[in-house]
Structure 1
Amino acid sequence: MKSNDFKAFQIENLCNYVPSFGRKDLYRICLVTGESRVYFADKSFNLSGTCLFFGNINTPYSWEVLSDNQIGYGCLFTEDFLKGAEYFDNVGSLSVFNIGNIPVYELQDETQIANVNFIFKRILEENGGDYSKRQEMVRSFICILVHEALKSRAVADNTELAPHKTASQRISALFLRLLDTQFPVENKRKSIQFTKPTDFAGQLGIHPNYLNRVLKKETGKTILEVINERIITEARILLQHTDWTISEISHCLGFEYHSHFDSVFKKITGLSPSIYRETFSGKRFEIHKHWC
């Protein structure tokens, strides 16, 4: 396999590790035992014990080490690497990598911890071997890690890696994929392209009313609610972690008028963009460990 498509490593001697907050170029799965704090978008999580972490390429994050004796394993990979397996046709559709989900899975069962450690050891072994089908083996091990994470939250969902079966599920997945392709926003002078229900309906070749009914059925929210919530999630990140003006953020997120951006932001967060920035810039929300 190409060296820049996949990398596996053992985690140890992290006392001198300096965290870097930002978006990453690769997907990441880590198994870590020890005290640490993860900063993920506009949230943070204090962790102890053994946890699985899933980092995606769209959400900025960093990992702060709080204990010298932190150990574990990690792997980094491109989306193209996983696309070699049929069940990983769309990495972003997997809930463990979804921007809206908490990316940390606490492992408490000793048997499961032993199993996940064994899986990472096999990944390291196969990644360094010369078996011609080792890529397929590594992809299979990553698939098992995804299921172990879902299992740790007692999520009885056998369709996670299965193709969408109904028309509404397929349309909903296509819509969410199209929405997410616009993020992260990295150029304040360039506005995102799709911001209105008609924009997405036109791209999908269906009527806006039908798309709205589909989204309401699958998510419990209207299409405009889903669009605005995703855009405001990006706005929170930009307000906290860039020096862009509020007008620049409003423009790059597709708002024609600054006042409209203020209105939508306040409706969703309860704060104006300026108050939000003053309150949370340079800080992180602390979320109790049992949420993880």
Structure 2
Amino acid sequence: MDPHEHIEQFFRRHGSAFNDVGGFYVYRVDDTHPSHPSPFTRRDYYKIALLLEGEALITYADRSIPVKSGAVIFSNPMIPYAWQRVSEKQRYYFCLFTGEFVSNQLKRESPAESSLFKVQGDHVLFADEPAKERIAGIFEMMLQEAEGHYKYKYDVLRNHVQLLIHEALKIAPPVDSYSHTSSADRITELFLELLARQFPITATHDRIRIKTAAAFAAQLSVHVNYLNKSVKTVTGKTTTELIAAHVVKEARALLQHTNWDVAEVGYCLGFGHASNFNIFFRKMTGETPNRFRAGLLTQH
């Protein structure tokens, strides 16, 4: 399982053709545009959006932020998030760009170096009307440039991205608008969702990639101690216990419903050696994988 959404998947999810040229894409979305689910995950691309009309909820691992007209949102491959439309009508601009687009010319003023794009930083800002109009104007220039055939248009578009960043940096973040009231519940919900998303295993080339508390914390962009404390508070169980329970449940299903050998089952469940899988399975169930499978055969 790949924990990132690739830019090609974004276009597929929106029913659009993907053209891998230049690494930069910009759009104006009107209120007739159908709503597409935006799941909680990391993306392998950068995104800047300006909400012109409507309301939505953007959710990070430890907080949810309601956004409305004038909101400017920055995201990058380090920050997992989900976007949920609240209002029926919604108008906004957004641009997507890849790491290749960033690293090519943006240099020291690269978005990757801006606080707007770091894991710890201000990623949702609220522009007043004059700032909103200026930022909308930059998006309109981007749209016009992207449609043109100027030889150096991607250099021009990088300059427009820099202008967006500078306009956003002028905006003071309204810290008190961030909701932290149920952060433990939210982080636990996201942990369980991310855990469950790795299953079921359907082929021998499938393999779970995230199987430790530290790895889940890294995916959710939170400290492992914070994740462990939140999960324990909400569920009464540790992250390790919950991970192990899911893994052994899947192990039982694979041993019962496939003819894969034990080493293949162990590999799919993230164990590099069959002996490690045997030790884990016996610790969790009291018997080895082979004995478990043999017991199933004697029942039929």
Q: Which of 6, 29, 54 matches 1:11?
A: 29
Which letter maps to 2:211? E
Which letter maps to 2:96? L
CA contact (8 A) 2:102 2:112 kept: no
Which residue is 2:257 aligned to? none
- For the pair 1:29 / 2:55, whether they are aligned, the reply is no
CA contact (8 A) 2:188 2:230 kept: no
Point out 4+ residue stretches in structure 1 off by more than 3 angstroms: 86-91, 234-240, 250-254, 276-279
* Deviation, structure 1 residue 250: 3.4
CA contact (8 A) 2:35 2:85 kept: no
Supply the distance in 1 between the matched residues of 2:81 and 2:105 (Cα, whole angstroms): 27
Supply the distance in 1 between the matched residues of 2:159 and 2:146 (Cα, whole angstroms): 12
CA contact (8 A) 1:235 1:253 kept: no
How well do the aligned residues superpose, as a CA RMSD in angstroms?
A: 3.5
- Stretch deviating more after TM superposition (54-63 or 133-142): 54-63
Which letter maps to 2:195? T
Which residue is 1:84 aligned to? 104
Supply the distance in 1 between the matched residues of 2:29 and 2:91 (Cα, whole angstroms): 5
Matches within 5 A, 1:1-292: 2-3=20-21, 5-12=23-30, 13-33=32-52, 34-88=54-108, 91-108=111-128, 110-153=129-172, 238=191, 241-243=194-196, 248-250=211-213, 252=215, 265-266=224-225, 271=229, 273-276=231-234
* Deviation, structure 1 residue 62: 1.8
Unpaired runs of 5+ residues, structure 1, are 155-233, 255-263, 282-292
Supply the distance in 2 between the matched residues of 1:277 and 1:145 (Cα, whole angstroms): 42
* Deviation, structure 1 residue 102: 3.2
Which letter maps to 1:55? S
Instruction: Tell me the secondary structure at the aligned position of residue 42 of structure 1.
Output: coil
* Deviation, structure 1 residue 122: 0.6
* Deviation, structure 1 residue 118: 0.8
Aligned length in residues:
190
* Deviation, structure 1 residue 270: 8.9
Supply the distance in 2 between the matched residues of 1:278 and 1:240 (Cα, whole angstroms): 17
Change (3 A) 1:236 1:67: closer
* Deviation, structure 1 residue 278: 6.3
Identity of aligned residues (%): 23
TM-score, scaled to structure 2: 0.54
* Deviation, structure 1 residue 86: 4.2
Per-residue deviation, residues 67-96 of structure 1 (Å, max 9, x unmatched): 122112111101110222243575432111
Which letter maps to 1:6? F
Which letter maps to 2:233? I
Change (3 A) 1:137 1:276: farther
Which letter maps to 2:159? S
CA contact (8 A) 2:47 2:95 kept: yes
* Deviation, structure 1 residue 43: 1.7
Instruction: Tell me the secondary structure at the aligned position of residue 44 of structure 2.
Output: coil
Unpaired runs of 5+ residues, structure 2, are 1-18, 174-186, 199-207, 218-222, 240-300
TM-score, scaled to structure 1: 0.56
Supply the distance in 2 between the matched residues of 1:18 and 1:41 (Cα, whole angstroms): 17
CA contact (8 A) 2:105 2:155 kept: yes
Change (3 A) 1:90 1:240: farther
CA contact (8 A) 1:42 1:237 kept: no
* Deviation, structure 1 residue 103: 1.1
Greater Rg over alpha carbons, structure: 2
Per-residue deviation, residues 214-236 of structure 1 (Å, max 9, x unmatched): xxxxxxxxxxxxxxxxxxxx999
- Stretch deviating more after TM superposition (134-143 or 8-17): 8-17
Higher relative contact order (CA 8 A, sep 6+): 1
